[in-house]
Amino acid sequence: MRSSLGSFAILALLAVADLAIAASNDTKSDTTNRQRYGQMLAADSEEDVVSIAAADPDYTCSKTKKCEKGCCGSIDPTNGVGVCGLGPKFCGDGCVSDCGRKGECDPGWGPGWSTDDKCPLNVCCSEFGFCGTTKDFCGGKTVPSPNCGGKSAEKRLIGYYEGWNVHQRPCGNMKPEDIPLGWYTHINFAFALINPKTFHIDPMDADTATLYDAVTGLKRRQTGLEVWIAVGGWAMNDPGPYRTAFSDMAKSTKNQDAFFESLITFMQRHDFDGIDLDWEYPVADDRGGIKDDFANYVQMISRLRRRLNQTGKKYGITITLPASYWYLRGFDIAHLEPHIDWFNVMTYDIHGVWDSTVHSIGPYAYAHTNLSEIETGLNLLWRNNINPERVVMGLGFYGRSFTMKDPKCMTAGCPFKDGAKGGECTGTPGVLSAAEINKIIKNGAKVTFDKEAAVKIVTWDTDQWVSWDDAETLKLKMAYANQRCLGGYVNLFPPSSTRIRTDKINCGRTMVWAIDLDDGTLLKSLTDGMDRKSTFVNPIPKYPLIDLDSDRKKAKDEL
């Protein structure tokens, strides 16, 4: 029976393989996936394999029923049932169907049974030919994490600024002159695009283009402030004319050169200090990527660094990374690192309404900034010896929200039926700004602290649910970033603030998305307790720094 039980272990691993990778290995809160995981562990007991397999019949096979994944191995003549698996035992002699399928990696089968010898990102290859990071894939092997045991000194706080917020939101807008100064060391202006024909810098739209100079002009009021342009973003790789622009640029040195020259002219004209490349995502075919992106991106970044160095000005280069294995595996992070200043890691949006289409997760509500899953994502970097000083952890000044299926089931792991109602200012179902969430709480919503995930869950109006980080949970994540010696925090939505002190921050580096989604409370929680030397920002002049109407007309004329 031991050999049969081992066969079912393969079956069960197939059932949870996507979960272990795409869902950051968190099986504790999803009832269905937890049951599957329990079946895998039960395979080590003396239970009858047929009765276990019958509980999850999708991973059995026969002469007429194919495997969802893997090959259908030899059929038991007593019941006509086979088990799905990979490698020579299942795909070799005696295989009934889908015999050409291969494992993700080679656990020792030899050539021809897997697509690659090793797993991407140095994750573990299980004995069943799947890549993952849990003990079921790695056995007793662990990856040491960096540990500072205190604060990492004099780091950066990066705030992304959504340029479109000024013209596209009916309320809750933040104009450039309203951006709080004295706290952010860097502001990343989101976004510019890449023209798919000329490979020149394209503005998102004419109105957003009018704000470039107003934002970079803030450097005259805050000594040492840097303003960078963020190029790309999720929407750029949505279906449409821009979808393959990154790939098309990366695979051609001619297209790269056209982009480089356009970028330099653009940064010089508008006084930007660097570029944040947000390609979402190389290699991923569901995002317009191709296999060659993996190597092409490294070549492009190395050439971009050389070209920017030739200008005589120290322009910065950063790359935005996902926190999930599924998309991160398309980045050759070990060879990208030497050519950039740091990685901005999107340790938010881990979950959202899109989970409903992910087979291994499904339509269940989970926190989008779960600290346990953040740690799993960052461990992928440590597996590749990435210097934590070059890692900036992302924080969200917003929440991901759901309309729940059953008002009696409102905790993490309960099913949802859609995104929650859009906010009065942001207007997008499934997402709410920090300012909107604070207003909901003031109106009597229920707030629950998920200590293990280090997030807050807010429920209201019977079936509305949102996860987010408030002042308390942001401090927990800041403490984690300090412990892991990270290079900074990133904030994506800044609050309106009257404070004007600035200098180096005595904490790990972070970024926030986004400056314009906050009402002031979250930035205050990030900066309270930071050991800063007090220097002062120049006061706002009585006359406007920039004539926005004139600048808007000029930008539209240039387009």
**What is the DSSP track for 471-531?**
HHHHHHHHHHHHHTT-EEEEEEEPPP----EE--BSS-EEEEEEGGG--SHHHHHHHTT--
Instruction: Quote the pLDDT of residue 557.
Output: 55
Instruction: Quote the pLDDT of residue 156.
Output: 84
Residue 218, helix vs strand vs coil: helix
DSSP assignment, residue 18?
H
Q: What is the Cβ-side half-sphere exposure of residue 208, based on CA atoms within 13 angstroms?
A: 18
Report whether 136 contacts 114 (CB < 8 A). no
Report whether 97 contacts 61 (CB < 8 A). yes
d(CA 328, CA 142): 20
Report whether 465 contacts 447 (CB < 8 A). no
Write the CATH number of the domain with boundaries 158-393+474-536: 3.20.20.80
Instruction: Quote the pLDDT of residue 529.
Output: 61
Residue 359: count of CB within 10 angstroms of its CB: 9
d(CA 492, CA 344): 11
Instruction: Quote the pLDDT of residue 540.
Output: 42
Instruction: Quote the pLDDT of residue 545.
Output: 34
Distances (CA, A) of 482 to 24, 151, 186, 498: 22, 5, 19, 27
Q: What is the Cβ-side half-sphere exposure of residue 238, based on CA atoms within 13 angstroms?
A: 5
Instruction: Quote the pLDDT of residue 496.
Output: 34
Instruction: Quote the pLDDT of residue 488.
Output: 55
Q: What's the one-letter identity of residue 205? A: D
Instruction: Quote the pLDDT of residue 27.
Output: 33
Instruction: Quote the pLDDT of residue 491.
Output: 52
Distances (CA, A) of 251 to 70, 283, 336: 33, 12, 16
The structure's pTM equals 0.82
Q: Which of 217, 223, 173, 208 is nearest to 500 (CA)?
A: 223
Distances (CA, A) of 404 to 205, 307, 410, 415, 419: 35, 51, 7, 6, 8
The residue ranges of every structural domain in the chain are: 2-138, 158-393+474-536
Q: 3-state SS of 410-428?
A: CCCCCEEEEECCCCCCCCC
pLDDT in 10s for each residue of the chain, 559 residues: 222 223 333 333 333 333 333 333 333 333 333 233 223 323 322 233 232 233 335 678 998 899 988 999 999 999 999 999 999 999 999 999 999 999 999 999 999 999 999 999 999 999 999 999 888 899 888 889 998 865 543 378 999 999 999 999 999 999 999 999 999 999 999 999 999 999 999 999 999 999 999 999 999 999 999 999 999 999 999 999 999 999 999 999 999 999 999 999 999 999 999 999 999 999 999 999 999 999 999 999 999 999 999 999 999 999 999 999 999 999 999 999 999 999 999 999 999 999 998 877 999 999 999 999 999 999 999 999 999 999 999 999 999 999 999 999 999 999 999 999 999 999 999 999 999 999 999 999 999 999 999 999 999 999 999 999 999 999 999 999 989 999 855 554 433 333 222 333 334 578 999 999 999 999 988 888 665 443 345 544 333 333 334 444 554 455 5
CA triple 492-494-496, angle to 5 deg = 170
Residue 107: count of CB within 10 angstroms of its CB: 18
Burial class (CB in 10 A: 0-12, 13-18, 19+), 339: middle
d(CA 85, CA 43): 15
